[in-house]
């Protein structure tokens, strides 16, 4: 039977890929124990990476939403005239609603009235209680929130104002401004930790009547969801629609939110980096032992005329295969872990994102290849020494 001529190295015949895969498969099977240790290290690392990446994507959205319950981040007010406080027309609320911008979580109008309770001065803030509740869900209330929009005879008293005026839930308070008087029942005492602690809150229409400023508001506070650029976009849209009014983002809040999100992102990034390094060290330890075990086989392969590059390709492919397998298993394990973390830590249901899969696998393959560095030493094996048993 005629036998085809073969040529080494730059052969005109391409070495069969199936033999490469065959040897690779046998390599994987031959060192199951050590490779299992490396695989566990890679899978664990991949699971944590996958979980953190999934959590990062969902938690950022969730945190952004939660930040919006912590007060306003955009304020709309008439331009200051230098004298008396300028007032805006209450129709501004209709103009905001007409924008139908889903990023506006809440819009709360305020009319501030300087009033007296007996001889004690106090600030009365007329507002919309449903919007106030949406924007300030973290306020601590003793008693009950003003629940009925139609009940004009109820109010909330800030904790400092209540102390000053001797108010408690259920007590009555009479306020006077100019020649107007109103009498209200205190539904609850609120603790806000801010200037609101010294104010009394009532319905906007009641405050307007007391001050004789029907149809007027002092300002509107908005809670706008999204990242800093997204908030800027909403601000621009509002400024365009509300000519004659100033639309200002509350920089400190936006900056604080950005800072928190940035820190969380940073924490996740560095945790992933650390986990990958640890995974790599786990692989490194296994591969170093494997390199020792395989020096004889490599010496033999070199003696048989195996080019170093082709031999190393086998071992790199082995590490790569481990990375793909570890990354894939780790992705799914991480998705489960993310659901648990999301529920426990952020109170949000985290769904696995498809984009996390290739990222996790790519990072795990990199860690596996980094951990396979000791196998490079096999390229220096001198076959004559190995075959002599040195």
Partner 1 sequence: MAPLVQVENLEKRFGEVRALDRVSFDIEAGEWIAIMGPSGSGKTSLINILGGLDHPTGGRVVVNGQDISNLSERELTRYRCEKIGFVFQQFHLVPYLTAVENVMLAQYFHSITDEKEAADALRRVGLGDRLDHVPAQLSGGEQQRVAIARALINHPKLILADEPTGNLDEANEAVILELLRELHAAGHTILVVTHSQAIGNLADRRVELEHGRLARIHVPSVAKD
d(CA 266, CA 284): 26
Q: Which stretch binds partner 1 (CB under 8 A): 15-23, 38-46, 169-177, 319-327?
A: 15-23
Nearest approach in angstroms of CB 330 to partner 1 is 27
Q: How are beta strands 120-127 and 180-191 bridged, if at all?
A: unpaired
Nearest distance in Å: CB 329, partner 1: 24
Q: Is 13 in the site for partner 1 (CB under 8 A)?
A: yes
What token pair was written down for 297?
């086989």
- Among the residue ranges 4-12, 119-127, 145-153, 268-276, the one whose residues contact partner 1 (CB under 8 A): 4-12
Of the residues 21, 97, 255, 384, which one makes contact with partner 1 according to CB under 8 A: 384
Cβ-based burial of 133 (10 A; exposed 0-12, middle 13-18, buried ≥19): middle
Counting Cα atoms < 13 Å in the Cβ hemisphere of 243 gives 0
CB atoms inside a 10 Å sphere around CB 362: 13
* Minimum distance from residue 26 beta carbon to partner 1 (Å): 5
Write the binding mask 164 to 203 for partner 1: x where contact by CB under 8 A, - elsewhere. Answer: ----------------------------------------
Q: Enumerate residues 261-320 that contact partner 1 by CB under 8 A.
A: 296-297, 300-308, 310
Candidate residues 6, 100, 119, 344; the one interacting with partner 1 per rule CB under 8 A? 6
Closer by beta carbon to partner 1, 11 or else 147:
11
**Using the 8-state DSSP alphabet, how is residue 98 labeled?**
T
Cα gap 14→17, rounded to integer Å: 8
Burial class (CB in 10 A: 0-12, 13-18, 19+), 256: middle
Q: Report whether 73 contacts 222 (CB < 8 A).
A: yes
Stretch in the footprint of partner 1 (CB under 8 A) among 8-16, 122-130, 172-180, 214-222: 8-16
244: left (phi over 0), alpha (psi -120 to 50) or beta: left
Choosing from 14, 84, 98, 102, the residue that interacts with partner 1 (CB under 8 A) is 14
Q: Which residue has the tokens 């990023």?
A: 103
From candidates 100, 119, 344, 388, binder to partner 1 by CB under 8 A: 388
Q: How many residues bind partner 1 (CB under 8 A)?
A: 39
To partner 1, the closest distance from the beta carbon of 326 in angstroms equals 22
* CB closer to partner 1, 203 vs 302: 302
Nearest approach, Cβ of residue 315 and partner 1 (Å): 14
- Eight-class DSSP state of 344: I
Residue selected from 3, 81, 150, 243 as contacting partner 1 according to rule CB under 8 A: 3
**Which region holds residue 13: left if phi is over 0, alpha if psi is between -120 and 50, else beta?**
beta
Nearer to partner 1 by Cβ, of 3 and 354: the residue is 3
Subset of residues 17 to 46 that bind partner 1, contact rule: CB under 8 A: 18-20, 22-23, 26-27, 29-30
For the bound state, the minimum distance from the C-beta of residue 2 to partner 1, rounded and expressed in Å, comes to 11
Please state the length of the chain. 390
Using CB under 8 A as the binding rule, whether residue 11 contacts partner 1 is answered as yes
Residue 323 contacts residue 367 (beta carbons within 8 Å): yes
What is the chain's Cα-based Rg?
A: 34
Give the pair of three-digit tokens for residue 260.
Answer: 């928190």
Cβ contact 158:122 at 8 Å: no
Separation of alpha carbons 372 and 274, rounded Å:
18
Integer CA distances (angstroms), 144 to 72, 123, 353, in order:
22, 21, 42
Residue numbers 227-246 binding partner 1 by CB under 8 A? none
Q: How far is the CB of 300 from partner 1 (least distance, A)?
A: 5
Kindly tell me which of 26 and 251 has the beta carbon lying closer to partner 1.
26
Q: State how far Cα 365 lies from the chain centre.
A: 26
Give least dist CB 328 to partner 1, A. Answer: 25
Q: 3-class DSSP state for residue 244?
A: coil
As measured in angstroms, the least distance from the Cβ of 48 to partner 1 is 33
Binding site for partner 1 (CB under 8 A): 1, 3-4, 6-9, 11, 13-16, 18-20, 22-23, 26-27, 29-30, 296-297, 300-308, 310, 382-384, 387-389
């Amino acid at each position: 039977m005629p036998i085809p001529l073969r040529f080494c190295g730059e052969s005109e015949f391409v070495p069969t890929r199936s033999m490469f895969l065959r040897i690779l498969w046998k390599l994987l099977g031959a060192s199951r124990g050590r490779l299992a240790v490396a695989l566990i290290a890679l899978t664990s690392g991949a699971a944590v990476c996958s979980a953190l990446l999934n959590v990062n994507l969902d938690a950022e959205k969730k945190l952004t939403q939660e930040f919006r319950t912590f007060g306003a981040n955009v304020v709309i007010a008439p331009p200051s005239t230098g004298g008396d406080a300028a007032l805006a027309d209450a129709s501004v609320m209709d103009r905001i609603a007409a924008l139908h911008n889903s990023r506006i979580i809440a819009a709360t109008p305020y009319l501030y009235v300087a009033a007296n309770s007996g001889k004690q001065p106090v600030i009365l803030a007329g507002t919309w209680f449903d919007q106030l509740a949406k924007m300030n869900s973290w306020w601590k209330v003793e008693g009950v929130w003003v629940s009925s929009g139609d009940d004009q005879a109820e109010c909330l008293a800030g904790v400092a104002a209540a102390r000053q005026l001797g108010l408690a839930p259920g007590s009555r308070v009479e306020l006077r401004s100019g020649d107007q008087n109103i009498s209200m029942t205190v539904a609850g005492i609120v603790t806000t930790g801010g200037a609101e602690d010294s104010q009394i809150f009532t319905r906007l229409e009641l405050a307007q009547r007391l001050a004789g400023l029907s149809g007027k508001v002092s300002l509107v506070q908005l809670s706008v969801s999204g990242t800093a650029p997204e908030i800027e976009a909403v601000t621009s849209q509002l400024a365009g629609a509300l000519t004659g009014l100033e639309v200002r983002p509350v920089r400190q809040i936006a900056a604080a939110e950005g800072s928190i999100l940035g820190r969380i992102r940073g924490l996740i990034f560095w945790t992933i980096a650390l986990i990958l390094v640890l995974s790599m060290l786990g692989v490194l330890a296994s591969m170093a032992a494997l390199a020792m075990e395989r020096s004889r086989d490599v010496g033999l392969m070199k003696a048989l005329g195996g080019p170093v590059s082709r031999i190393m390709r086998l071992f790199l492919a082995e590490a790569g295969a481990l990375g793909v397998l570890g990354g894939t298993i780790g992705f799914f394990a991480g998705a489960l872990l993310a659901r648990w973390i999301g529920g426990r830590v952020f109170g949000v249901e985290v769904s696995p994102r498809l984009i996390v899969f290739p990222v996790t696998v790519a990072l795990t393959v990199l860690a596996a290849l980094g951990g396979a560095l000791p196998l490079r030493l096999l390229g220096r094996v001198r076959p004559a020494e190995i075959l002599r048993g040195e």
